[in-house]
Structure 1
Amino acid sequence: MLDIADELNRWVEQGRGFAVATVVAVGGSAPRPPGAALAVDSEGTAVGSVSGGCVEGAVYDLCVQALQDGETVRERFGYSDEDAFAVGLTCGGVVEVLVTPVAADGDASPSPSSDGNARAGGPGREVIAAALSAAAGPVGAGPVGAGAAAGRGEATALARVARGPAELLGRALLVRSDGSYEGDLGGHPELDRTVVHETRALLNAGRTGTFDLSEDGSHCGAALTVFVESSVPPPRMIVFGAIDFAAALVRVGNFLGYHVTVCDARTVFATRARFPDADDIVVDWPHRYLERTETDGRTVLCVLTHDAKFDVPLLERALRLPVAFVGAMGSRRTHEDRLARLREVGLTERELALLHSPIGLDLGARTPEETALSIAAEIVAVRQGGTGVSLSRTREPIHRDGGAVESYDAVA
């Protein structure tokens, strides 16, 4: 549900009651990954999606029922089910959703307990409200771009019992990166401690996934499956070179949910007027900025300067960082000259192999917008393990989990 934290946080602030269905397991060619959510409030308003349209109607009805009876349920939709065509799941996938009601502000049913969870087994308003507030960030922050997801707030994770006894199903813990937490799963005293430890590991890796435990918190047996949604600040895209192609790439980066920084040493070009959609504009030599800024394993670096005096010292450092992607613009001749210069400053062939240059996929791009699409497509392919080949010419699975989430088989 943290993928729609902005909307749900507003519902919480308005005192609305709602039910939220979250995808907790997928298999085959499932349309949306674990963590995708659809929520329905007491007036019938819906936000989010669990299947891109396949089973939305059936899941909507489940949310309405949960609002009425206050019960948390887990439901499976699969291509082998007799009613697969009736609900519209014809893509050959399997989707399991956890539907949990969140009572309206002041509503006593289901009644909350002192731990912030509801006595009937589902998560209480206090735990959900804290998780949504943490994931959504400051009120009024708004999405960075059209495709920006929740995660502008603090790093936080919501752990919920997705499989287990009825009295524990849906109960939740909010876990923060420092190990502090809110809520209580209501089981063995060691259960919370183990869940916090496992959840924190997933949160630190920025992952959404599952793990199995016994009811006493040990790893012997698998009476419970705990589903963890991690919400972390958006990944960074740093674009070096304040050119027209960079302006287009900034817009695409925003659409993909990146926090986008433009860096150029030339004051006249690195301006807010030229890059109104950038989150940050930095006037500095690219290699100096890269040395002092924070990067991580999700960061993508796009070098569009195609000028040796900028490129070489920048790439010398970039190719030795544990980032997700390093790409550089330029002709094939520029690329060969760039490689020779980088060898001269000591980069190894293994380090040079990390460089995506000329940057982008072969789309026949000409305009800045087309080129930005080409670059973004390569970034997605590299990060998700895609081939870049037309789907009509490959037999590979359409959806890859890339190790980021657990598959249906792992949690069924």
Structure 2
Amino acid sequence: MLDLAEELSRWCERGCDFAVATVVATHGSAPRQPGASLAVGADSTAIGSVSGGCVEGAVYDLCQRALETGESVLERFGHSDEDAFAVGLTCGGVIDILITPVRATGSPAAGTDRETLAAALAAAAAGEATAVVRLVEGPAELTGRWLHVRPGGSYSGTLGGPPELDRTAAAEAGALLGAGRTGTVALGADGSRCGQPVLLLVESSVPPPRMIVFGAVDFAAALVRMGKLLGYHVSVCDARPVFATARRFPEADEVVADWPHRYLDAQELDGRTVLCVLTHDAKFDVPLLARALKLPVAYIGAMGSRRTHLDRLDRLRHAGVTDAELARLRSPIGLDLGARTPEETALSIAAEIVADLHGGTGAPLTGADTPIHRDAPPPVGRIGSVA
């Protein structure tokens, strides 16, 4: 749902009723991951997607029904071999979808705890780290309530149970938020690990991951565009002020004229950060990579020929970089696509970043027996009404 925060926040401000359908879990090959949402307004406007088109019509109808009844429902959609026209996923996977109404009138049990939700949506729309918690399965009195969790585990709102449930759920949500993950959490209704079970959905929204491109070259301009397409906050850094200009990189979020290693030292980076070194000049590359390879970032790649790479490795070893650290370096950068132009090279680099992120092989899918979609969370459990 937080993937639609900007538009849903406006709906809340205008007092619009809507229902939101959110992917809770996936099994097998599924087109969207947990947290992906489709929202339907009382005026029949629809935004977002839960399946890339496979079951959107059926989910749209469920959202309209939820708006009428005020009841949340959990539904499972999968492929039907008996009827090719039955509602299901043609990819053969299974997705569990939670539909929750958000109405301006009625009781919290009817799904109208709007203030807490509105605050969470506004925070996510503003680019702040935030999480929301709602019931997937459990006691009816918890249905339609929202918990808004901030970094560190502070929270507002309530799930409608004992205070201990809110505190435990907020702590669990804070951990998922810290990792930038969306998923389900199983607790007892009293906040313990025993007693009547409840299953909660925690949706996290965090600021975009960073891509830092070192080297204000023509390849960098294409990579900036690709990075923005993938949802990164993209910075360009080069020690040469004549090249590091916003005019040359209008799509970058930041263009900095500074020595790469000095700029890197001043940054707060996390495990989602991507570093792309396109300078292929030892006086820039070596001090930069000697620092970068010690950082817990997601990806480090460096441009250059194989001869340049071997020379770079020797220089980095002399600079004190260990073989284990050097093993993290992707160089020459990118996958073997036969790329020649800056745009093709940017695609090659982006493909390697995506493969690293999701554990892909980079091999053609044709004829392969590896899964198309990875990292599916475990099953949700019983499927049915939670109202």
Question: What code does the residue aligned with 2:343 have?
Answer: E
The amino acid across from 1:119 in the alignment is A
Residue 406 of structure 1 deviates from its aligned partner by: 2.6
Per mean C-alpha deviation after superposition, the further-off stretch among 179-188 and 32-41 is 179-188
SS at match of 1:119: helix
Match of 1:174 in 2: 148
1:124 counterpart letter in structure 2: D
Partner of 1:41: 41
1:351–1:39 Cα change, 3 Å: same
Alpha carbons 1:162, 1:170 under 8 Å: kept: no
In the alignment, residue 202 of structure 2 is paired with which amino acid? Answer: V
Matches within 5 A, 1:13-412: 13-79=13-79, 85-103=85-103, 107-108=104-105, 110-111=106-107, 118-120=108-110, 122-137=111-126, 153-220=127-194, 223-401=197-375, 406-408=377-379
CA distance in 2, matches of 1:159, 1:28: 25
Q: What TM-score do the two structures reach when normalised by structure 1?
A: 0.90
Is the contact made by 2:72 and 2:144 (CA closer than 8 Å) also made in structure 1?
A: yes
Q: CA deviation at 1:85?
A: 4.0
Contact 1:27 1:409 (8 Å CA) reproduced: no
Q: Contact between 2:186 and 2:197, CA under 8 Å: does it hold in 1?
A: yes
CA distance in 2, matches of 1:407, 1:188: 27
Contact 2:278 2:303 in 1 (8 A): yes
Aligned 8 A contact 2:211 2:235 in 1: yes
Aligned pair in 2 of structure 1 residues 410, 262: CA closer, same or farther (>3 Å)? Answer: farther
SS at match of 1:58: helix
- Distance change (3 Å), C-alpha of 1:23 and 1:277: same
Measure the CA separation in 2 of the matches of 1:261 and 1:200. 28
Deviation at 1:233, TM superposition (A): 0.6
| Deviations, residues 7-42 of structure 1 (Å, cap 9, x unaligned) | 111222222111110011110111110000000101
Give 1:178 deviation, angstroms: 3.3
- Aligned counterparts of 2:3 and 2:309: Cα–Cα separation in 1: 39
Letter in 2 for 1:357: S
Q: Are the structure 2 counterparts of residues 127 and 90 from structure 1 closer, same or farther at C-alpha, using a change threshold of 3 Å?
A: same
Contact 1:360/1:378 (CA < 8 Å) preserved in 2? yes
Paired with 1:7 and 1:294, the residues of 2 have a C-alpha distance of: 30
Q: Is the 8 A contact 2:235 2:256 kept in 1?
A: yes
Quote how far apart the aligned CAs of 1:408 are: 2.7
**Superposition deviation, residue 395 in structure 1:** 0.8
Distance 1:353 1:273 in 2: 36
What is the one-letter code of the residue matched to 1:331?
Answer: S
Please tell me whether the aligned partners of residues 225 and 411 of structure 1 are also in contact (alpha carbons under 8 angstroms): no
CA shift at 1:6, angstroms? 1.3
What displacement does 1:165 show?
2.2
> Structure 2 length normalisation: TM-score?
0.95
SS at the partner of 2:280?
Answer: coil
8 Å CA contact 1:77–1:84 kept in 2: the answer is no
| 1:298 match: secondary structure | coil
More displaced, 189-198 or 253-262? 189-198
What secondary structure sits across from 2:140 in the alignment?
Answer: coil
Residue 84 of structure 1: how far off its partner (Å): 7.5
User: How many pairs does the alignment contain?
Assistant: 383
Secondary structure at the counterpart of residue 77 of structure 1: strand
Moved more, 50-59 or 199-208: 199-208
Displacement after TM superposition at 1:250 (Å):
0.4
Give the Cα separation in 2 of the matches to 1:317 and 1:295.
12
Look up the SS of the partner of 1:216 in the other structure. coil
Shift of 1:318: 0.4
Distance, in Å, in 2 between the alignment partners of 1:280 and 1:135 is 22
**CA distance, structure 2, for counterparts of residue 94 and residue 301 of structure 1:** 35
Report deviation, 1:58: 0.1
What percentage of aligned pairs have identical amino acids? 70
CA distance in 2, matches of 1:408, 1:377: 29
Decide whether aligned partners of structure 1 residues 63 and 83 sit closer, same or farther in structure 2, where only a CA change above 3 A counts: farther
Q: Secondary structure at the match of 1:40?
A: strand
CA distance in 1, matches of 2:112, 2:210: 33
Deviation at 1:180, TM superposition (A): 2.0
Task: List alignment gaps of at least 5 residues for structure 2.
Answer: none
Q: What secondary structure sits across from 1:301 in the alignment? A: strand
Q: Quickly say closer, same or farther: Cα 1:222–1:164, change in 2 above 3 A.
A: same
Contact 1:210 / 1:411 at 8 angstroms: preserved in 2? no
- Secondary structure (helix, strand or coil) at the match of 2:141 reads coil
Please give the per-residue CA displacement for 1:380-412, whole angstroms capped at 9, x wherever unaligned. Answer: 0001110000111421111011xxx63336897
Aligned amino acid, residue 75 of structure 1:
E
Q: Secondary structure at the match of 2:119?
A: helix
CA distance in 2, matches of 1:158, 1:290: 33
In structure 2, how many angstroms separate the alpha carbons of the residues matched to 1:302 and 1:271? Answer: 18
Note if contact 1:78-1:84 (Cα within 8 Å) is conserved in structure 2: no
